[in-house]
Each structure stands twice: as C-alpha cells, then as structure tokens.
Amino acid sequence: MSQHGAGKGPKFSGNRHAGREVIYGRNPVLEALRGRREVHRLWLSSGGRAEELRAEELRADLGARRAPVEILERDRLTQLAGAEEHQGFAAEVDAFSYMDEETILDTGDLVIVLDRVQDPHNLGAVLRTAEAAGAAVVLPRHRSAEVTPAAVKASAGASEHVPVARVRNLTDFVLAAKEAGYWIYGAEAQADVDYTAPDYTGKVVFCMGSEGEGLGKRLREACDVLVAIPLTGQVASLNVSVSTAVLVFEARRQRGAAANEAG
C-alpha cells in the first residue's frame, strides 16, 4: 500500500474519469470487490489499529482484482467520497451497469417495479430487500432515483448483486411482463384485497408507488390485482421499502410452503 501525507492524496477530485464514480462505506466497497463492477482504486482513512483492520478486510476480498489501495487523511477521504458517512472506505468503480428489461423478464420470476420513488435512501433500502429475496428491480428513466453512490450506501452494498433495469415506460414494461407470463400486483392502501390472499407462487411483478403519490393511473390500471397491507396503528402508510419487504417475503413464504408440500 502507498502512504500519502496530510493534505496530499490522489489527483482525483474534480477530474473523475468518465464512466466511473466513487462509492463509499465499508459494505459497499467490500461488496463491490465481490460484485460485477470493475474496481479501479481503493482508499482507506488513516487511523492506527482501525486502519490495519480495514486493510485486512480488503486483503481478504481483493482476490484477483488487485486494485491499488491508498491511505488518506480522513478529511481527504471525505472530500473524495463527497460524504462523511464513508466509515473509512471509498473506491473508484465503473458506473453502475443497468440490465435490459428482456433479461430481467427472462432470467427471474420475481420483479419489483418502483413508480416515482425519488429518494435514493428508499431506493437503496428496496435494493437491499430485493437482494435478500432474490428479486430484480425496474425503475423508470424519469422522475426516479438512480443507483447513485448514496443509494449504494443505503443498500449496504446489496446493489452490487441486484439485477436492475431502467425503462422508458413502466406500463409498457408491465404489459410485456404479462406477455411473458407474469401476474402483476399493485400495492394500494385502499385496495379491497388483503396482500396475503393472492397466489404468488408463479411469476410475479409487484408495483410499488411513492408514499406521496402512490401508483400512477395508467400503471394502476395495468395491474391484474391491487392489494393492501392492513394497518392498525395511527400512521396512514408504510415506507415503500417496508411495504416492498412485506410483499416479496410473503411471496417467498408461499413458494417455500409450496415446495415443502411438493417434496
């Protein structure tokens, strides 16, 4: 590893390579080393024993990737990361690569569609849920958060392993999913169908809207069934990431039960 003195560091800020970005946080960096993106450089903040522990973690995960590792003062690392929540880890990586929608439909059986979810932290939380449940995520190209470093951090690095597509029109994607044999379920607080009632053991798309606006009219009308999660408290709605987790893990529960019965 190379050691940089105070106030120095790589000549990177303000001259970032096209097609690359800086991700930050312990888990995002470690998962990037295990994921599909190219990792070009890694940075750790200086700090005695903490620095040694961080270096050991990186050595365990570098494998054949052999990205250079540099030690920086914490303020310099904060400058490079563009955020204070870097936990002493940052990396220069290729920009996030989205999949095409045909691959999403052909290779999986559980898809989460996010309609107008613009908070990167909400997106990151959904990506973490999707990775844990083995689901893909589809976003619109406009009026939506993207998989930015902030979303990567909020996902705790799960974004590095989730299939994500961006499409021009969500309704068109849903109609294509129907043609491919998927059933489309929209989350709607006022729906009459309890979320546990449908059969989710086949190919399923869950359409999730933003907390403020819900599902758009055309997307709502394209859904086969609208389902609601009953609430008994004083709060009128759940965060979109929580609602998504409730639905996708109900699907996983049903599939596990069906597999046990078949076995």
User: Is the model's pLDDT at 179 over the cut of 60?
Assistant: yes
Region 2-14: mean pLDDT is: 36
Give the rounded percent of residues in the chain with a pLDDT score beyond 90. Answer: 62
- Answer whether CATH 3.40.1280.10 is correct for domain 101-262: yes
Q: Is the pTM of this model over 0.85?
A: yes
Residue 261 confidence class, pLDDT cut points 50, 70, 90: confident
Q: Do domains 2-94 and 101-262 have the same CATH topology?
A: no
Residue matched to tokens 């990567």? 152
Rg, Å, the chain Cα set = 21
CA atoms of 49 and 31, how far apart (whole Å): 22
Tokens coding 61: 């995960």
Task: Select 2-94's CATH number: 3.40.50.970, 3.30.1330.30, 3.40.50.11030, 3.90.1170.50.
Answer: 3.30.1330.30
Q: Which residues pair with 113 in a beta bridge?
A: 138, 207
User: How many Cβ atoms sit within 10 Å of the Cβ of residue 49?
Assistant: 7
Q: Say if residue 192's pLDDT is above 60.
A: yes
- For residue range 31-78, list pLDDT tens digits in order: 998 888 999 988 888 765 556 666 666 666 666 566 788 888 888 888
Return the pLDDT at 13. Answer: 36
Neighbours of 85 (CB within 10 A): 11
CA distance 248 to 254: 10
- H/E element, 50: helix 48-62
What confidence score (pLDDT) does residue 115 get?
96
What is the pLDDT, as a whole number, of residue 2? 36
Domain boundary assignment for the chain: 2-94, 101-262
SS3 225: strand
